[in-house]
Amino acid sequence: MGYKIVYNRLIPFKGFTAINLCGFIFVRKGMNIDCTTLQHERIHSRQMEELGYVFFYIWYLLEWIIKLFFYGKNSYWNISFEREAYFGEDGLFYMWNRKKYAFMKYIFKPAPGIDT
Ligand SMILES: [Zn+2]
């Protein structure tokens, strides 16, 4: 499956390299996106395709809010979509071998090395 990278001056905010908005990967002008980051964002694109864009963002936000109560400032790292993306971003064959809805298995699994 293909992907679109949109180089621009505004998105994401300074200090960040890339953000995925509805399947488009935004990268700040002058920044380089590395393979790991690109694959991370492509995993998010798959998740969005599976759930539908609107539902993905609703779920993402809800999970982040709910997990704030359990993980506080580490909530982001425990969102199932992020857990899968960080797990798979380095895998050479991850995109090929990935099972549909792979993020599901991380919903109740805390991120390793993060205390609550
Ligand atoms: Zn991510």
pLDDT above 70 for 114: no
pLDDT digits (tens, 9 = 90+) for 58-108: 999 999 999 999 999 999 999 999 999 999 999 999 999 999 999 999 999
C-alpha distances in Å from residue 46, one per residue of 18, 60, 84: 16, 14, 11
How far does the centroid of ligand 1 lie from the alpha carbon of residue 110, in Å?
16
Query: Where does the pLDDT of residue 12 fall: very low under 50, low under 70, confident under 90, or very high at 90 and above?
Result: very high
Q: Compute how many other C-beta atoms are within 10 angstroms of the C-beta atom of residue 76.
A: 13
Ligand 1 midpoint to CA 11 (Å):
15
Q: How far is the CA of 35 from the centre of ligand 1 (A)?
A: 14
> Residue 77 Cα, ligand 1 centroid: separation in angstroms?
9
Residue 116 pLDDT > 50, yes or no? no
What mean pLDDT is predicted for residues 10-18? 91
Q: How far is the CA of 1 from the centre of ligand 1 (A)?
A: 18
